[in-house]
């Protein structure tokens, strides 16, 4: 072959590449239909998830499970959470991985349901093992597609020793009392609130308790996203004004503080409250915190007027891949995870809460804070946003208000982005 001939072959190869490039997304096959309880419980289950920190506890649970179910093996397929959020459906829709897989609550869960990725779990009879009010995040149109397997409180956590010295053995239950509590903490020379303003993911959690009693309806964030509510509405501006009031009680330069230094401030007693969530209890313990911890949601209402006392979230929702060829084995694994003793072991191993009925916590922090699960709590409104850019804009308006921007200006800037996203 001469050079010209080679170029000809290369050109043909390139043309083939061009044609295959233009084949488009429609060429990939979709999920393979429904699930039946008759599916045989054997085979190798690919358990895809993003929780690298849970690898050890899942490994232990898998070892116990496979002792009982010798015909089944379970292999963890762990991706970084960002990759999972962006690519999970593309990776798993053909069933080669992710026979059992979690979805983030909100946008990802909805896209999983919309694309037919998750099967209807009603035939499994597992739903009755979960507390009904804590698994609503796993249902759509009345169908239970997945089970939230880990519950967190998206509310600030507090050092109860410092609160007690300030005259509040329990966190304040209305707005004026909350500000009074922060004042008294500040007068002790302690920073009332450690705010990780440079970490949008963590700083954004505060909007959950701040908005839960101010929003006109429970689905306030979904309605902001749809354009029904505006950020320039009075109720939202009132929330931003309250953010501004909290600005007097956060550490200096809060907008530049990352999550780790904020945790350090809390763990060492330099700050009384960490404005993130219960998911940081274990990490502040590992940083040396020895004081009693509870959640301290800022209640924005007048005394006795609060409808909700805290916000919680389902960290992930476990479901079965409709394209899986080992659905029976996948269901067996899900059934095992739904046993109270197994869910309890997972909860203690990860220092997070469980929605499974009958779980008893050995971890004293979980045991103390779990009483909040029985109170009037709202599924974290923040995750009603399916558009991540809108969520970021709304949360940024809160941070702007906290750090001194006029509420009206912060709201208008964010609404401009929301409007553009709605129009696009």
**Least Cβ distance, residue 102 to another protein (angstroms):** 16
Tell me which residues in 236-275 interact with another protein (CB under 8 A).
251-261, 264-265
- Contacting residue, 122, 199, 335, 408, with another protein by CB under 8 A: 199
Q: Cα angle vertex 43, ends 41, 47, to 5°?
A: 95
- Is 63 or 200 the residue whose CB approaches another protein more closely? 200
- Contacting residue, 38, 290, 374, 423, with another protein by CB under 8 A: 423
Phi then psi dihedrals of residue 78, to 5 deg: -105, 125
Cβ burial of 125 (10 Å; 0-12, 13-18, 19+) is exposed
CB 155 within 8 A of CB 209: yes
- Contacting residue, 8, 11, 12, 13, with another protein by CB under 8 A: 13
Distance CA 44, CA 404 (A): 55
Q: At what angle do helices 55-68 and 340-350 cross, to 10 degrees?
A: 160
Tell me if 90 contacts another protein by CB under 8 A: yes
- Contacting residue, 32, 78, 107, 287, with another protein by CB under 8 A: 107
Tell me if 424 contacts another protein by CB under 8 A: yes
Tell me if 14 contacts another protein by CB under 8 A: yes
Tell me if 201 contacts another protein by CB under 8 A: yes
- Contacting residue, 63, 75, 200, 307, with another protein by CB under 8 A: 200
CB 55 within 8 A of CB 78: yes
**Least Cβ distance, residue 143 to another protein (angstroms):** 20
- Is 78 or 89 the residue whose CB approaches another protein more closely? 89
CA-nearest of 196, 173, 175 to 271 is 196
Tell me if 10 contacts another protein by CB under 8 A: yes
Tell me if 387 contacts another protein by CB under 8 A: yes
- Contacting residue, 55, 241, 375, 416, with another protein by CB under 8 A: 416
**Least Cβ distance, residue 413 to another protein (angstroms):** 9
- Contacting residue, 75, 86, 132, 307, with another protein by CB under 8 A: 86
Q: Taking CB under 8 A as the rule, which mask of x and - marks residues 270-299 in contact with another protein?
A: ------------------------------
**Least Cβ distance, residue 421 to another protein (angstroms):** 8
Tell me if 169 contacts another protein by CB under 8 A: no
Tell me if 189 contacts another protein by CB under 8 A: no
Question: Which residues here bind another protein, judged by CB under 8 A?
Answer: 1-3, 6, 10, 13-14, 17-18, 20-22, 24-26, 28, 30, 82, 85-86, 89-90, 93, 107, 111, 115, 197-201, 251-261, 264-265, 387-389, 392-393, 396, 403, 416-417, 420, 423-424
């Amino acid at each position: 072959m001469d050079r010209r001939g080679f170029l000809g072959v290369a050109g043909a190869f390139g043309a083939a590449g061009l044609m295959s490039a233009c084949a488009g997304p429609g060429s990939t096959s979709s999920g393979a239909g429904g699930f039946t309880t008759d599916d045989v419980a054997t085979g190798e289950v690919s358990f895809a998830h993003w929780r690298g920190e849970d690898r050890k506890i899942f490994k232990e649970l898998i070892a116990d499970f496979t002792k009982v179910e010798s015909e089944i093996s379970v292999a963890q397929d762990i991706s970084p959470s960002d990759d999972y959020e962006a690519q999970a459906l593309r990776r798993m829709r053909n069933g080669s991985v992710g026979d059992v897989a979690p979805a983030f609550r909100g946008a990802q869960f909805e896209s999983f349901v919309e694309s037919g990725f998750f099967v209807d779990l009603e035939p499994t009879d597992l739903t009755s093992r979960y507390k009904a009010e804590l698994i609503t995040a796993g249902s759509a149109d009345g169908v239970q597609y997945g089970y939230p397997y880990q519950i967190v409180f998206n509310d600030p956590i507090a050092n109860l020793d410092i609160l007690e010295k300030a005259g509040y053995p329990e966190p304040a239950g209305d707005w004026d009392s909350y500000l009074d509590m922060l004042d008294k903490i500040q007068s002790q020379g302690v920073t009332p609130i450690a705010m990780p303003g440079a970490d949008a993911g963590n700083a954004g959690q505060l909007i959950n308790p701040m908005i839960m009693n101010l929003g006109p309806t429970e689905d306030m964030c979904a309605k902001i996203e749809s354009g029904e509510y505006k950020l320039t509405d009075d109720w939202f501006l009132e929330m931003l004004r309250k953010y501004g009031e909290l600005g007097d009680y956060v550490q200096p330069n809060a907008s530049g503080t990352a999550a780790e230094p904020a945790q350090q401030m809390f763990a060492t007693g330099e700050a009384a409250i960490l404005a993130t969530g219960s998911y940081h209890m274990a990490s502040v313990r590992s940083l040396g915190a020895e004081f009693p911890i509870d959640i301290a949601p800022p209640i924005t209402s007048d005394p006795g007027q609060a409808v909700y006392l805290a916000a919680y979230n389902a960290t992930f929702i476990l479901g079965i891949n409709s394209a899986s060829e080992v659905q029976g084995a996948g269901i067996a694994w899900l059934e095992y995870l739904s046993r109270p003793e197994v869910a309890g072991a997972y909860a203690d191993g990860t220092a997070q809460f469980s929605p499974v009925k009958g779980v008893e916590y050995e971890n004293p922090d979980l045991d103390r804070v779990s009483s909040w699960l029985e109170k009037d709590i709202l599924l974290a409104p923040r995750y009603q946003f399916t558009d991540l850019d809108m969520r970021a804009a709304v949360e940024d308006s809160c941070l702007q208000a906290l750090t001194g921007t006029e509420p009206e200006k912060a709201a208008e800037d964010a609404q401009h982005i929301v409007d553009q996203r709605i129009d696009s």
